[in-house]
Structure 1
Amino acid sequence: MDGGVLLVHGGMCTSSCWSPVAERLALPVIAVDLPGRGSRRCDLLEVSLDDCVRTVLECADDAGWRRFALVGHSLGGVTVTETAHRCPDRITHLVYVGALIPGPGQGGCGLAYGADWPAGEIATIDEGVARAMFGNDLTDDQWATWWPSFVPEAPRLMNARLSGYPNGVPTTYVGLTDDVAVPPTLWDEMTSHLPGPVDRRQIDAGHMVMWSKPTELAALLSELLTESLLTQTTSAPSAPR
């Protein structure tokens, strides 16, 4: 196997949100910090979807992965959709976990909340609101561990429009039954934007399933991704970027 799994976090998160899953995943794995947070500090007002796609591809290149599985959570659905659209030959499997897939001409914030985030205003959220939306099924200890990693978000990324949708990439949508931020009422609408068939799975969990049910999510990702990585990364030629 010469590839692995790239995990892309959602809005107001860092790569650390994936830690409980990454340590349980029996596959080569990299949790990406998108620009403006974690190890990739920069001016959040300048961060664009192009920057995020470039970061994902650079992480794969740095790891020496010609092809890789791509997993996105929440607002990370925008980045993984755009990445797979631009470079479908590099993706062995695309997995959305409680992720946003905006329609044509729509941003992630508009899809989730009905309006774009104000331009030029860095996105933040009150802890009480965040707990209700993202941590409704987390224990107090789990929330206390995760909340300090919460970070501001780039407005251009909140409002980014997709240039297209991936075609010919095996795709799975993992819905979270108790998700407040990305509720089940959005699943059919979002997956209808994708041109190919979508394998639908679900986990009985809230938005931060990586913290509430990391073992279950890691097992599902291993089931979905192991065979495709073994068969596709060993036979496919390097794809142009």
Structure 2
Amino acid sequence: MPLPGLVLVHGGAHAADCWDLTVAELHRQEPRLKVLAVDLPGRRGKQGDLSTASIRQWVDSVVDDIEHADLGQVVIVGHSLAGVTVPGVVARLGASRVREMVFAAAFVPPQDSAVIDTLGGPLAAFARRSAATGKPMKLSRVLARYAFCNGMTRDQRAFTLSRLYAESACIGVEPVDRSNLPTAVSRTWILTTRDRALSISSQQASIAALGGVQTVIPIHACHDVMISHARELAVMLVDRCRATAAA
């Protein structure tokens, strides 16, 4: 059976280049796997206005990138804030094309709620300040290091902090709508157990808000697991793709 394509959706304050180390590992472990790491609008060269961003715009962007890459069936991975985007992408593509959705340390608010309604930890004050101004803001290196980088090597921290981007204030205050999310699509959760940005209990609340998952894979990693544990994450994702192909 051919492998599905693997789509990687970055979280807040990041862009597609946060996946670079993991993508390199994926190519080493499974050269046949087609991997697409997308940029959401408003960062690097991707057209978009962060001051007026919406979840629907971000969903449209990811779907367009998948279509332009000529991917058929896919496994889609969402990290962090991508927890509000990936369900919309899955709803658009449908269960016939999405073999599995994987959430890695993701923010998934309850239906009709927004990220800011349930956000705690070190990013809460930043998110509320950004929401109050309504303007895109960039995390300070100090806050980003604390929230994203605990347990990293010096090189991994440097990699992370050199790839920080301004983030929209709009996405965190927009209520989510998962009413069209297909129930037939399998769900996996990568649980980062050393996460300062999203605690274990917060991730469990997100799992509950999602309606549960079929598989939980714990990993002793910080929030930016795709940087701190690129090889281990790549193994997990290749395994998911192979399992869906076999199924």
Normalising by structure 1, we get a TM-score of 0.89
Task: Name the amino acid aligned to 2:13.
Answer: M
Task: Name the amino acid aligned to 2:70.
Answer: G
Task: Name the amino acid aligned to 1:174.
Answer: I
Structure 2 CA distance for partners of 1:106 and 1:123, relative to 1, 3 Å: farther
Q: Distance in 1 between matches of 2:25 and 2:81?
A: 23
Which of 189, 198, 203 is the equivalent residue of 2:219? Answer: 203
Which of 141, 145, 150 is the equivalent residue of 2:155? Answer: 141
The answer (yes or no) to whether the contact 1:119–1:156 under 8 Å persists in 2 is: no
What residue is the counterpart of 1:237 in the other structure?
none
What residue is the counterpart of 1:132 in the other structure?
146
Query: Offset of 1:24 from its aligned partner?
Result: 1.2
Q: Distance in 1 between matches of 2:116 and 2:44?
A: 22
Residue correspondences, number: 231
Task: Name the amino acid aligned to 1:72.
Answer: G
Match of 1:5, SS state, is strand
What residue is the counterpart of 2:241 in the other structure?
225
**Ranges in structure 2 where 5+ consecutive residues have no aligned partner:** none
Q: Distance in 2 between matches of 1:224 and 1:111?
A: 29
What residue is the counterpart of 2:112 in the other structure?
105
The answer (yes or no) to whether the contact 1:88–1:168 under 8 Å persists in 2 is: no
Query: Offset of 1:227 from its aligned partner?
Result: 3.0
Which of 109, 112, 118 is the equivalent residue of 2:132? Answer: 118
The percent of aligned pairs where both chains have the same amino acid is 29
Q: Distance in 1 between matches of 2:45 and 2:4?
A: 22
**Residues 155-170 of structure 1 mapped to structure 2, 5 A cutoff:** 155-164=169-178, 166=181, 167-170=183-186
Query: Offset of 1:132 from its aligned partner?
Result: 0.6
Query: Offset of 1:231 from its aligned partner?
Result: 5.2
Query: By percentage of residues, which structure has more helix?
Result: 2
Structure 2 CA distance for partners of 1:197 and 1:210, relative to 1, 3 Å: closer
Q: Distance in 2 between matches of 1:206 and 1:2?
A: 29
Which of 106-115 and 23-32 deviates more? 106-115
Normalising by structure 2, we get a TM-score of 0.87
What residue is the counterpart of 2:41 in the other structure?
35
What residue is the counterpart of 2:101 in the other structure?
94
What residue is the counterpart of 2:56 in the other structure?
50
The answer (yes or no) to whether the contact 2:5–2:72 under 8 Å persists in 1 is: no
Asked if residue 14 in structure 1 is aligned to residue 20 in structure 2, the reply is no
Query: Offset of 1:196 from its aligned partner?
Result: 5.4
Task: Name the amino acid aligned to 1:95.
Answer: V
Query: Offset of 1:121 from its aligned partner?
Result: 2.0
**Ranges in structure 1 where 5+ consecutive residues have no aligned partner:** 233-241
